[in-house]
Amino acid sequence: MSSSGALRLHPVDAAVAVDRDRAEAAVAELLEALGRDVSGEHLADTPRRVVDGLLELITPREFTATTFPNEDGYDDLVLVRDIPFTSVCEHHLLPFRGVAHVGYVPGPRLVGLSKLARIVEWYAHDLQVQERLTVRIADHLERQLEPAGVGVVMSAEHLCMSVRGVHAVGSRTETHVFRGAVAADDRLRRRFEASGS
């Protein structure tokens, strides 16, 4: 954490250069390989739109997570429920979306409540699996905020399961990370687990 009370966001991955022309050509080639005519009016601009859409899904917006001194010594759970998120499955390049319940038991500092949602959004914008996303959010809070405990529960529908393959429409995957006081205290953990239902 910086001395100004701002949490530093670590890059999701090392900065990568995006070659838009190459990406659009690759999408056009994929469509042609699938037997589609990309010169037609409906598909002519599809490669650009696909690249725009993917970049929007995997590029996080910059922000600063402001923190404040915990002057009153608050030592119970701070929990923000039902934070919506969308991410992209790195195995199929299809979205998964759902809600996150993120909380912490404060140490010396408090974080602005909206910033918990921003942290979820930041880490969700990547190619990944839900398990890694859950761990990254918990790691970030633990590393930057130094709380007494952290909990992250994520529940999402994965389009790679619901619109293809098994076609399990409406099925949801839950992942949980509990650390410190949240992992050690059954009462705190139950409050998180009640969030997921």
Classify residue 63 by burial, with Cβ atoms within 10 Å: 0-12, 13-18, 19+: middle
90 catalytic per annotation: yes
- 94 near 88, Cβ under 8 Å? yes
The reply to whether 174 belongs to the active site is no
* Annotation says 101 is catalytic: no
Rounded Cα gap, residues 10 and 175, in angstroms: 22
121 labelled catalytic: no
CA-CA-CA-CA torsion sign (183, 150, 91, 13):
negative
Residue with tokens 């809600």: 99
- Among the listed residues 89, 121, 144, 176, the single catalytic one is 89
Is 130 tagged catalytic? yes
The catalytic residue among 130, 140, 144, 176 is 130
Question: Is residue 10 flagged as an active site residue?
Answer: no
89 annotated active-site: yes
Q: Which of 92, 146, 157, 193 is catalytic?
A: 92
φ, ψ dihedrals at 145, nearest 5°: -100, -20
From CA 121, how far away is CA 134, in angstroms rounded? 12
Catalytic choice (32, 56, 90, 131): 90
Q: Of 142, 146, 157, 160, which one is the catalytic site residue? A: 160
Q: What is the DSSP letter of 169?
A: T
Q: Which of 10, 32, 56, 91 is catalytic?
A: 91
- Report, as residue numbers or ranges, the catalytic residues: 89-92, 130, 158, 160
